Amino acid sequence: MATTSRRDGTFDGAWWPRSRNLAAQLPGLIRALTDKLGAVTRIGLDAGAWDVHLHSMAVDGHLVRIDWSEVEDHTMLVTRGQQDIFSFLMLPPHADGTAAHAAMTLAVRDGNSASAAEILAATGIAVR
């Protein structure tokens, strides 16, 4: 997640999990987001991107609710508090490192209005 002086693009950050194992991947992200943003209360994920669908996860004694959708749009929504929502590009685990870096850089560029599908296509990341 890049810190910017304004939030006027499509995405506030990007995440590149290295597997489809939510229990292995999500705790580290929640810790990093909590350090950067404060307490995370909810995360919205695409059901097709994960092997197991948990409804909540406790990380360091804090419970985070997990919401699922079937939209397959390669995005993740992170809620802090009751209403502050951050939108993230979510890269597929099979993405090449160079392409993933390019996609994450494009996603957080101020003023970026490209969708996740447009970013993945522009950086050569195939959607499976």
Could you report the per-residue pLDDT of 81-103, keeping only the tens digit for each? Answer: 877 889 999 999 999 999 999 99
The secondary structure of residue 18, as a DSSP letter, is S
Task: Calculate mean pLDDT across residues 92-115.
Answer: 94
Predicted confidence at residue 84, as pLDDT, reads 85
User: What's the average model confidence in pLDDT over 52-79?
Assistant: 94
Q: State residue 72's pLDDT score.
A: 84
Helix (H) or strand (E) holding 40, with range, is strand 40-46
pLDDT score at 7: 55
pLDDT (tens digit per residue) in 24-44: 999 999 999 999 888 999 999
Identity of the amino acid at 79: T
Q: What pLDDT, on the 0 to 100 scale, is given for residue 8?
A: 64
Q: With beta carbons less than 8 A apart as the criterion, state whether 89 and 114 touch.
A: no
Transcribe 52-117 into DSSP letters. Answer: S--SEEEETTEEEEEEEE----SEEEEEETTTEEEEEEE--TT--HHHHHHHHHHHTSTT----HH
> Per the confidence metrics, is the pTM higher than 0.85?
yes
Q: Can you tell me the distance from the alpha carbon of 11 to that of 87, in angstroms, rounded to the nearest whole number?
A: 5
Closest-CA residue to 81 (of 40, 43, 32, 44): 40
Residue 23 has pLDDT above 50, yes or no: yes
Q: Any idea what DSSP says for residue 42?
A: E
- How does DSSP classify residue 2? -
- Would the pLDDT of 3 be above 80? no
